[in-house]
Amino acid sequence: MGALFATALWWLASSYLDSFTLRIATAISIVVITLISIPAIRRVEKEWGEDPSRVVIDEVVGTWICLLGVPESMHWGYVLAAFLLFRFLDIVKPLGIRRMEAVRGGWGVMLDDILAGIYGLIILLLISL
């Protein structure tokens, strides 16, 4: 649900912001939310257990990273591709993504989705070329 929410929110923001402003706002949001989430996740893990499924902010950040690769045209096909790429990479966890889960605490929860987002971003940029 986190990836779907992130995509819908980003798509909505793209209706109001030009491409450059959207990318800057997305990048700033990624950094700020990541920095806020890491200690927050560490706290909720004490009550909910390690890498709780109720925490979806990691999916939001990973999806937004992938969405940075959507071309200026903002064609919905690229937005859908970004969503699907992120979800695929987050589920399958290839190329070292699974190893990120070994990191403890908030960083561990965030890193696998950050890496999945980065891989999705790279793939999306290659597709758009």
Residue 85 has pLDDT above 80, yes or no: yes
Share of the chain above pLDDT 70, in %: 100
7-58 per-position pLDDT tens digit: 999 999 999 999 999 999 999 999 999 999 999 998 998 888 787 788 899 9
**pLDDT confidence of residue 83:** 97
95 pLDDT higher than 90: no
pLDDT band for 108, please (50, 70, 90 cuts).
confident
The rounded mean pLDDT for the chain is: 93
Pairwise CA distance, residues 67 & 83, whole Å: 8
- CA distance linking residue 60 with residue 123, whole number of Å: 18
Q: Quick one: pLDDT at residue 75?
A: 86
Tally Cβ neighbours within 10 Å of residue 111.
Answer: 20
* Count of CA atoms in the C-beta half-sphere (13 A) of 111: 13
